[in-house]
Amino acid sequence: AQSVAQPEDQVNVAEGNPLTVKCTYSVSGNPYLFWYVQYPNRGLQFLLKYITGDNLVKGSYGFEAEFNKSQTSFHLKKPSALVSDSALYFCAVRDIGVNTGFQKLVFGTGTRLLVSP
Amino acid sequence: DADVTQTPRNRITKTGKRIMLECSQTKGHDRMYWYRQDPGLGLRLIYYSFDVKDINKGEISDGYSVSRQAQAKFSLSLESAIPNQTALYFCATSGPGNTIYFGEGSWLTVV
């Protein structure tokens, strides 16, 4: 089964500093990887995805993610953090049912990002 | 207006009561999902639906049922709510692409 792991429950960074939120994956076949963000009292918002092509994927709000096949990682990054980036971030991988062909997402446990002024 | 709308957004109910969470979407997608979010566990899939005639159990379907009333509507029911069903519930949709779009969530508290 496809899975992702987010090893950090929380990441703390000062505003203006670069940030990284880690994600590793375990899949059979080629991975389709996603990052979502959940702001307080809001739903999940799609940030970016990797399907194929360039290993560096650019997404919303200045975020980007680097796909690394040898390390089976898909870390989320931003060059300069903002206080408003404080939120809960989820990594996810697409899973397709063997018998149904139905696509669904399998999520990591989430990483809370706190950006201090 | 939101593309995926959930009602109610917040609900407190008593143990043993029946509760329904409703979801409607304006994206024209065939696939719809119900996920549950718990702290430290991420999101787990409850049920998913290919279309109005195809409904499938996810990883945590016990204690839940669903109804796909139309392409745009997918409701989740707790027939007899229990306290460990207290969680944030998300409806989601996806179309031909690979991206899944989520509603804003429904907070359910079972006391």
B91, A43, B7, B64: CA torsion to nearest 10:
40
**Is A55 in contact with A67 (CB distance < 8 Å)?**
yes
pLDDT for the residue A87: 96
In chain A, which residues have their Cβ closer than 8 Å to the Cβ of B29? none
**Closest in A49, A94, A104 to B48, CB measured:** A104
Q: Do B100 and A51 touch (CB under 8 A)?
A: no
CA atoms within 13 A on the CB side of B80: 2
Calpha distance B97→B103 (Å, rounded): 18
Lowest-pLDDT range of A38-47, A80-89, B63-72? A38-47
> Which residue in A44, A57, A94 has the most chain B C-beta atoms within 10 A of its own C-beta, making it the best mutation to test that interface?
A44
pLDDT for the residue B2: 63
pLDDT digits (tens, 9 = 90+) for B49-86: 988 889 999 989 999 999 999 999 999 999 999 999 99
A·B CB contacts under 8 A: 57
Above 70 in pLDDT, residue B27? Answer: yes
